[in-house]
Amino acid sequence: MVFLISLILIVTTVAVLLLLLRRAEKKATIKKRTPAQVAQDQAKEQFEAVVAQQTEQLQKTLQARAEKIDQAFARSLEQITARQLQTFAKLSDDFTKKTAAELQAVSMANTTAGAQAKTEISALTAQAKAEAIKKIDTQIAELMASYLAEIAPNLDYQDQKAFLFDTLEAHKDELKKDIENGL
């Protein structure tokens, strides 16, 4: 493209120089001329007119070709850009799908891990409650046995024992609920 523009400028410059040269020669030879000189001048003028006409035609041709080259270049750029955009869109879509799949896998893994942790925590909590209830039952039994051993000489053991066991048995569920809610 730059070459064509340079060529147009060179051709235009040559044509202008020829016209200036002709004018300079006319001014220098204002003297009386012979018919041969007149014929030569006329031939020279005709030659310069033909050169000027051909130069103008060449400029138009070069300009038209430069415009065609510009158009072809623009079409090529548009096609290349369109192909690159299609490639980018496909790669972007593939990347988005791959990322979505990976995120879904991570989400499923987190959900599974959360469910597992919840199950383990529930199991540990239930185990801790059961151990606490068992320990309290044991401590209550030991406390009762100790209490009964201390007051046994003064009281009728059989009457007190039945009363205490009946009371504990009646309130056993309430004690367990209090223990569970307290933990």
Segment 126-181, tens digit of pLDDT: 888 888 888 887 877 777 777 766 766 666 656 667 777 777 778 878 877 877 77
Nearest to 26 by CA among 12, 44, 5, 1: 44
Other beta carbons less than 10 A from residue 8's beta carbon: 19
Other beta carbons less than 10 A from residue 152's beta carbon: 12
Query: How many Å apart are CA 23 and CA 17, to the nearest integer?
Result: 10
3-state DSSP assignment of residue 34: coil
Segment 71-104, tens digit of pLDDT: 988 899 999 999 999 999 999 999 999 999 899 9
Residue with tokens 């103008």: 56
> CA distances (Å), 156 to each of 45, 146, 148, 149, 153, in order?
157, 15, 10, 11, 8
What pTM does this model have?
A: 0.40
For the stretch 111-125, what's the b/e string if a residue is b when 16 or more beta carbons lie within 10 angstroms of its beta carbon? eeeeeeeeeeeeeee
